[in-house]
Amino acid sequence: QKEVEQNSGPLSVPEGAIASLNCTYSDRGSQSFFWYRQYSGKSPELIMSIYSNGDKEDGRFTAQLNKASQYVSLLIRDSQPSDSATYLCAVSNYQLIWGAGTKLIIKP
């Protein structure tokens, strides 16, 4: 059974600090990795996609992929209260598998 695991949280981070969200996956053949942000009552919004090992930066967001260790992480620098949301990790190898999400709370 292909699985994507995330800590459900809540993860509480002070405003201005770095928030680190982690995701592990079981299918070694996975090729595409996505992070989505979902505010309460809203639909998921794509933040980052990453396809090769290493780091990918976009503004305050950095996605990190390590295929050997089968994990992908999302770092949010200078965390803002507006970053408070649930973050979903999705991993694809011809089928998109979703994690249950990590709830992030940024404390002012």
Catalog residues that contact another protein under the rule CB under 8 A. Answer: 31-32, 34, 36, 42-46, 49, 51, 88, 90, 92-96, 98-101
**CB closer to another protein, 79 vs 102:** 102
First-to-last alpha carbon distance for the chain, in angstroms, is 40
User: Taking the complex as a whole, how short is the minimal distance between the CB of residue 71 and another protein, in angstroms?
Assistant: 19
**CB closer to another protein, 24 vs 92:** 92
Rg (CA), the chain: 13
**CB closer to another protein, 57 vs 78:** 57
- Say how many residues make up the chain: 108
In this structure, are residues 79 and 15 in contact, taking their beta carbons and an 8 Å threshold?
A: yes
User: Taking the complex as a whole, how short is the minimal distance between the CB of residue 11 and another protein, in angstroms?
Assistant: 17
**Residue 35 vs residues 2, 56, 108: alpha-carbon distances, Å:** 18, 12, 24
User: Taking the complex as a whole, how short is the minimal distance between the CB of residue 92 and another protein, in angstroms?
Assistant: 5
Q: Which of 55, 54, 18, 23 is nearest to 36 (CA)?
A: 23
User: Taking the complex as a whole, how short is the minimal distance between the CB of residue 14 and another protein, in angstroms?
Assistant: 27
